A = this chain, B = another copy of it.
Amino acid sequence: MRKSTLLTIVCVTVMVPMLLLGVSIKENKAAQQAINEVPKIPKLEPRSSEWGKYFPRQYETYMGTKKSDEIKDVLQGSPELVILWAGYGFSKDYNAPRGHFYMLEDNMNTLRTGAPLNPQTGPMPTPCWTCKSSDVPRLIDKKGELDFYTGKWARHGGEIVNPIGCADCHSNDTMKLTLTRDYLKRALDAEGSKPFAEATHQDMRSLVCAQCHAEYYFKDTEWTDDQGQKQVAKVVTFPWDNGMVAEDIETYYDQRNFVDWTHALSKTPMLKAQHPDYETFITGAHGKQGLSCADCHMPYVREGGVKYTNHQIGSPLDNIANTCLNCHSGTEQEFRATIAEKLARKDELSRTAMDILAKAHLEAKQAWDLGATEEEMKPALQDIRHGQWRWDYSIAGHGAFFHAPEETLRVLGSAINKGQEARIKLRAILAKYNAGDFQAPDFSTKEKAQQIIGLPYDKLVEEKQQFLNGLKQEWFKQGAEKGIYDPKSREGMELKTSYPN
């Protein structure tokens, strides 16, 4: 071989990879630069695909939440729930949560939100949109909080057309994490242990989630509109003034005689827990070690020289190598086994509590039917209220059994106790009315339970179908006309419900 040939080969062998590496580094730098660059996005832009133009990786992973698309009818698996929620929307329809991609869709489709015919008809009020859409901060900014929180759910129909997205957590100016729901700022300040002004970036990596993943209620708040009319807004409020523990919040509600609904069977003044994820998370080992929601639910991803946050929020168990194993040693199998054990412990006590509370409601109904007086019933109903609240607080969230297993089991233990206390009192009342041996009717299937509570299921489904084909379609048309609707946010969306559609 001639020397020049050899030289050429050496040159090519060495230089081509070096050139490619140079190109790669340049590309990565460009990508990193694009990430660091402050893009031009209008304030409170509700269309996530617009943000995605500057942040393709974050947007693509966010859109990955579309993969979590299974409809799982929880009432079918746990028919006790129908009894527990008699007279309340959840007894009609309750599915396990799907990916963020579906949250607006599922809010519109559930039987809970009913079948309004126009902006004035119910059953739900406007705050039911609060955690469902990136149009909410925009609409609050436009109308003001009190106006936003006033009226029926359907009132904001044509304005709320995109699911939760970029605008809910990020500033369009700086891209930094930001709170777009002022009620969280107010709640942090009222609770006092960590006022909003002191929140660090690491705190924000949980607080943006806590805007929605928390316990809240709708606080009636009077105000006067532009026309001088008195209005009552239902303002989303976190009940944290006494603290975030189950009993602290219970006391908060009791002090205000707050009632979410009156139970259709037992006439108990009930509380419904939403999803106190933040409240329970901070009591557990990970919360106490200073971890944030994002640390496990949105782990960093490295692609070449680019590092970004995975926005496909879901179970960290889908990605143990990049979540648990960042800090812990052990095998995936060991993690799954430990977590399955935690889940089984929670499920055991939760199932016990549900069965007890369902029986308590039915036994109370029987006592009422036999002529029991309000005075006789009051102590038992108070126990039911507290027992069901505590059970609901423990299990309504997404993963309290893992975030705070000990606190969850403690509160479930106390829920069991309260529920049974109610039943002991009810047994004495039933005996007084010659029904000491009363046995609650069979509620072992969703259908049986819904029949017991007198739910007109077929009618609700029929009305809902009309809504889905009517007003719901209108809303997206209106959104498109206003230029706020992002068609990509519903790309490939199929109608999936637990009822026939």
Tell me the A residues contacting B by CB distance below 8 Å: 288, 338, 342, 345, 348-349, 352, 356, 405-407, 409-410, 412-414, 416-417, 420-421, 423-424, 427-428, 430-432, 436-437
Which residue of chain B has its CB nearest to the CB of A429? B436
Which residue of chain B has its CB nearest to the CB of A438? B428
B338, A288: Cβ atoms under 8 Å?
A: yes
Q: Across the interface, which residues of B come within 8 angstroms of A436, CB to CB?
A: 427-428, 431-432, 436
Partner pick for A420 among B342, B423, B430, CB 8 A cutoff? B423
Bound form: Cα–Cα A288–B342 in Å: 14
Q: Across the interface, which residues of B come within 8 angstroms of A417, CB to CB?
A: 352, 356, 416, 420
Partner pick for A348 among B345, B356, B414, CB 8 A cutoff? B414
Bound form: Cα–Cα A427–B432 in Å: 11
A413, B409: Cβ atoms under 8 Å?
A: yes
Partner pick for A413 among B412, B421, B437, CB 8 A cutoff? B412
Using known A-B contacts A416-B416, A420-B416, A431-B427, determine if residue A407 contacts B352 with beta carbons closer than 8 Å.
no
Bound form: Cα–Cα A212–B437 in Å: 46
Bound form: Cα–Cα A288–B330 in Å: 11
A428, B420: Cβ atoms under 8 Å?
A: no
Q: List 10 A-B contacts (CB under 8 A).
A: A288-B338, A349-B413, A352-B417, A413-B413, A416-B417, A420-B420, A420-B421, A428-B431, A428-B437, A432-B436
Partner pick for A410 among B288, B349, B421, CB 8 A cutoff? B349
Q: Across the interface, which residues of B come within 8 angstroms of A338, CB to CB?
A: 288
Partner pick for A424 among B348, B407, B420, CB 8 A cutoff? B420
Using known A-B contacts A421-B420, A423-B420, determine if residue A345 contacts B431 with beta carbons closer than 8 Å.
no
In the assembled complex, how far is the CB of residue A363 from the closest CB belonging to chain B, in whole angstroms?
9
Q: Across the interface, which residues of B come within 8 angstroms of A407, CB to CB?
A: 345
Bound form: Cα–Cα A348–B413 in Å: 9
Bound form: Cα–Cα A420–B426 in Å: 13
Q: Across the interface, which residues of B come within 8 angstroms of A427, CB to CB?
A: 424, 427-428, 431, 436
B410, A410: Cβ atoms under 8 Å?
A: no
Nearest 7 CB-CB pairings of A with B: A431-B431, A420-B420, A413-B413, A409-B409, A427-B427, A431-B436, A345-B410
List 20 other contacts, CB 8 Å, given A349-B410, A428-B437.
A288-B338, A348-B410, A348-B413, A348-B414, A349-B413, A409-B409, A413-B416, A416-B417, A420-B420, A420-B423, A423-B424, A424-B424, A424-B427, A427-B427, A427-B436, A428-B436, A430-B431, A431-B431, A431-B432, A432-B436
Which residue of chain B has its CB nearest to the CB of A338? B288
In the assembled complex, how far is the CB of residue A423 from the closest CB belonging to chain B, in whole angstroms?
5
In the assembled complex, how far is the CB of residue A390 from the closest CB belonging to chain B, in whole angstroms?
12
Bound form: Cα–Cα A348–B414 in Å: 9
Bound form: Cα–Cα A407–B409 in Å: 9
Bound form: Cα–Cα A430–B430 in Å: 12
Q: Across the interface, which residues of B come within 8 angstroms of A406, CB to CB?
A: 342, 345, 405-406, 409
Bound form: Cα–Cα A438–B95 in Å: 44
Q: Across the interface, which residues of B come within 8 angstroms of A414, CB to CB?
A: 348-349, 352
In the assembled complex, how far is the CB of residue A357 from the closest CB belonging to chain B, in whole angstroms?
12
Which residue of chain B has its CB nearest to the CB of A415? B413
Q: Across the interface, which residues of B come within 8 angstroms of A420, CB to CB?
A: 416-417, 420-421, 423-424
Bound form: Cα–Cα A431–B429 in Å: 9
Q: Across the interface, which residues of B come within 8 angstroms of A428, CB to CB?
A: 427, 431, 436-437
Q: Across the interface, which residues of B come within 8 angstroms of A430, CB to CB?
A: 431
Bound form: Cα–Cα A416–B431 in Å: 23
Q: Across the interface, which residues of B come within 8 angstroms of A410, CB to CB?
A: 345, 348-349, 409
Bound form: Cα–Cα A421–B405 in Å: 25
Bound form: Cα–Cα A342–B430 in Å: 39
Q: Across the interface, which residues of B come within 8 angstroms of A342, CB to CB?
A: 406
Which residue of chain B has its CB nearest to the CB of A434? B431
Which residue of chain B has its CB nearest to the CB of A330? B289
Bound form: Cα–Cα A349–B431 in Å: 29
Bound form: Cα–Cα A423–B420 in Å: 9
Which residue of chain B has its CB nearest to the CB of A407? B345
In the assembled complex, how far is the CB of residue A46 from the closest CB belonging to chain B, in whole angstroms?
43
Bound form: Cα–Cα A409–B356 in Å: 18
Bound form: Cα–Cα A338–B338 in Å: 21
Bound form: Cα–Cα A348–B431 in Å: 31
Which residue of chain B has its CB nearest to the CB of A329? B289
Bound form: Cα–Cα A421–B424 in Å: 9
